[in-house]
Amino acid sequence: MKVLGIESSCDETGVAIYDTENGLLAEKLYSQVAIHAPHGGVVPELASRDHVRKAVPLIQDVLKQAGITLQELEGIAWTAGPGLAGALLVGASLGQSLAWALDVPAVAVHHMEGHLLAPLLGDDPPDFPFVCLLVSGGHSLLVEVRALGMYRILGDTLDDAVGEAFDKTAKLLGLPYPGGKPLSDLAQHGDAKRFRFPRPMINRPGLDMSFSGLKTFTRVTWEENLASSQDTKTIDQLKADIAAGFQEAVVDTLTKKCQRALKQTGLRRLVVAGGVGANRALRQRLRETIKQHGGEVFFPALGWCTDNGAMIALAGGLRLAAGQYKPDAVIRVRPRWSLEELEPPGVS
């Protein structure tokens, strides 16, 4: 089954075609970073308008890349939530309209389900069940994944998502938006031991997380040490040391929470998904730590860590192939939507 996937939940327009027998056939992604960078964050109205401009040309591009016509599509999938309401409506309207026009089955996909299934696109996909660390700009979740649609949230963030904390910390240090990669690059030149950042909620039972305190510690540390920094070289080193300390605290916290989640569930496989899953320090630490404890860790390719159409086409293709198809005369989106509300295909 050849399935077109459309992702438009936030600030990337992603389109892909996934064949349930032959894998990913084509994908295209347009990032809106240049549009939102002057504002220091995503502007919902600008995001929605740009999705309108880019979605149809991207669909034409992937059809050409895959070497098929629109009429050869056998299913349509789009992100219905969570995300920005206006942005979601662009993909949902286009996807549902195409499904009606082509008279093919269609399915609305949960954005987070797309992320946690993204490693299945790789050459060495994990088997169910596994624990998923899902870390992005909007979410920080630990999820027990028993099968497609069988999800139990083990831990959530009580405040900022870890990706949001990276962006805000980077902004405080004067780094460009989005801040995750610039901060990670800067951290390579810093001394992570110069400042002892807190490890939020590490000594408490449970798997919930908190990252707002790290931002506060960053701001206080920056302000207290900036006055004594007399030249550009000293200030640059201060920034690098703060970046390194911040990143080390995040990596240490997430690693310990993952270890605890695997022990709690009795599972050995860990999947890491979402934009922060591209962080090099996090990948290295988790690989080393999980392997030392007899487990396995799986990461999607870097291009599938951020929002993309391939993960939506995959998730939609798996559900459609399993028989999930409920014709709907209404275009619906769900800006707020818990993973635990999903069900396996075939369960009404």
The C-alpha atoms of residue 280 and residue 64 are separated, in whole angstroms, by: 34
Closest CA to 300 of 73, 58, 62, 134: 134
Q: State the angle between helix axes of 280-292 and 232-265 in degrees (0 to 180), rounded to the nearest 10.
A: 40
Q: Could you read off the pLDDT of 284-342 as tens digits, one per residue?
A: 999 999 999 999 999 999 999 999 999 999 999 999 999 988 767 789 999 999 999 99
Q: Going edge to edge, which strands form the sheet with 23-31?
A: 23-31, 12-19, 2-7, 75-81, 106-110
Burial class of residue 246 (count of CB atoms within 10 Å of its CB; 0-12, 13-18, 19+): buried
Taken in order 275, 282, 41, 34, is the CA torsion positive or negative?
A: negative
Token pair recorded at residue 185: 């690059």
Average pLDDT, the chain: 94
> 3-state DSSP call for residue 151?
strand
- In this predicted structure, what is the pLDDT of residue 346? 74
- In this predicted structure, what is the pLDDT of residue 348? 55
> 3-state DSSP call for residue 126?
coil
The C-alpha atoms of residue 248 and residue 183 are separated, in whole angstroms, by: 12
The C-alpha atoms of residue 109 and residue 4 are separated, in whole angstroms, by: 12
Which residues of the chain fall below pLDDT 70? 327, 347-348
- In this predicted structure, what is the pLDDT of residue 205? 87
- In this predicted structure, what is the pLDDT of residue 23? 96
pTM of the model: 0.94
Biggest CA pair distance of the chain: 68
Q: Could you read off the pLDDT of 143-178 as tens digits, one per residue?
A: 999 999 999 999 999 998 999 999 999 999 999 999
Domains delineated in the chain: 2-117+304-341 (3.30.420.40), 128-299 (3.30.420.40)
Token look-up 């989005």 returns 178
- In this predicted structure, what is the pLDDT of residue 327? 67
